[in-house]
Amino acid sequence: MTKTSEHDNIFSEPMGQVARFCFDESVANVFPDMIQRSVPGYSAILSMIGDICGRYAQDGAYCYDLGCSLGAATLAMRHGITAKDCRIISIDNSPAMIERCQKIINEDTKDVPVDVLCGDIGATTIENASIVVLNFTLQFIEPSAREAILQNIYSGLRPGGVLILSEKVHFENQPHQSLMTDLYHNFKRVNGYSDLEIAQKRTALENVLRSDSIDTHRQRLNHCGFSSADVWFQCFTFCSLIAIK
Ligand code: GEK
């Protein structure tokens, strides 16, 4: 977690009409608590992103955190990088997130420079990169626009550079999909979410978070030109892939 935050009770009261989920002020205020209690393995993934940066960041290269929210992955990257003269570029299109992210980064004293930018990752040119992180962001992008974003990332990576792509995924095998969903809902219950909160959040995310299968991710990454792309972390319907140029 980036820092302690307010408790997430956004979906705790019955809502007549559940509005589409968006990354506004109310979500930004509770975001560290929300993502920690909703994404199995979130802390482990952040910690490994730091380690991967230690291994793959190249001297004089940019490291991108696309869909940075409050900058949790940015901080992991900043503290994991050991290469010289790197710069982190952290982008999110939610002004509420970016405003808070900038404050959090300002409070951190590590010396790797960070540019925190409000913008659309679909309109961002990736250049001179050794690391690109999409930590649970691509799932919110219009599916037809995903390949162009990955192509842009591939083009902007140096040879030997890596993309870390964490996503909620689905499984084509229905019994397996049901089991993973049940286990996931139980994870949320154990973390204090009621059945009402789980159901209303699910409705709010319909057509907002659109998952792909792991096969779709692998094939798309291979099609973009990555020489290797495979899963390094998985828990239920949440996984992270590493793709190497
Ligand atoms: C973390 N990576 O804590 N352009 C820029 N940002 C976008 C776009 C877009 N087109 N679409 C969505 N976002 C973070 C967590 S959260 C994941 C990432 C979640 C942003 C959106 O505003 C939000 O901040 C982020 O992507 C997704 O490691 O909430 O499950």
* Ligand 1: centre distance to CA 92 (Å): 6
Tell me the C-alpha distance between 182 and 220, whole Å. 28
Structure tokens at 127: 């250049």
pLDDT band at 16 (very low <50, low <70, confident <90, very high): confident
Rounded distance from Cα 68 to ligand 1 centre (Å): 6
Q: At residue 211, does pLDDT exceed 70?
A: yes
239 strand-pairing partners:
167, 234
Q: Is the pTM of this model over 0.75?
A: yes
- What is the best residue among 92, 99, 141 to mutate for testing ligand 1's pocket, by most ligand atoms within 8 Å of CB? 92
Count the Cβ atoms, other than its own, within 10 Å of residue 45: 24
Q: Which atom of ligand 1 is nearest to the CA of 39?
A: 30
| 65 Cα: distance to centroid of ligand 1 (angstroms) | 10
Q: What is the pLDDT of residues 144-167, one digit of tens each?
A: 999 999 999 999 999 999 999 999
Rounded to whole angstroms, the Cα distance separating 161 from 57 reads 8
Q: What is the pLDDT of residues 76-86, one digit of tens each?
A: 999 999 999 99
Q: Which pLDDT score, from 0 to 100, does residue 192 have?
A: 96
Cα of 141 from ligand 1 centre, angstroms = 9
SS3 annotation, 13-32: CCCCCCCCCCCCHHHHHHHH
Please list every protein residue whose CB sits less than 6 Å from any atom of ligand 1. Answer: 23, 35, 67-69, 72-73, 91-94, 97, 120-122, 135-137, 140-141
Q: What is the pLDDT of residue 3?
A: 47
The pLDDT tens digits for 115-128 are: 999 999 999 999 99
Atom of ligand 1 nearest to the CA of 68: 2
How far, in Å, from the CA of 200 to the mean position of ligand 1? 20
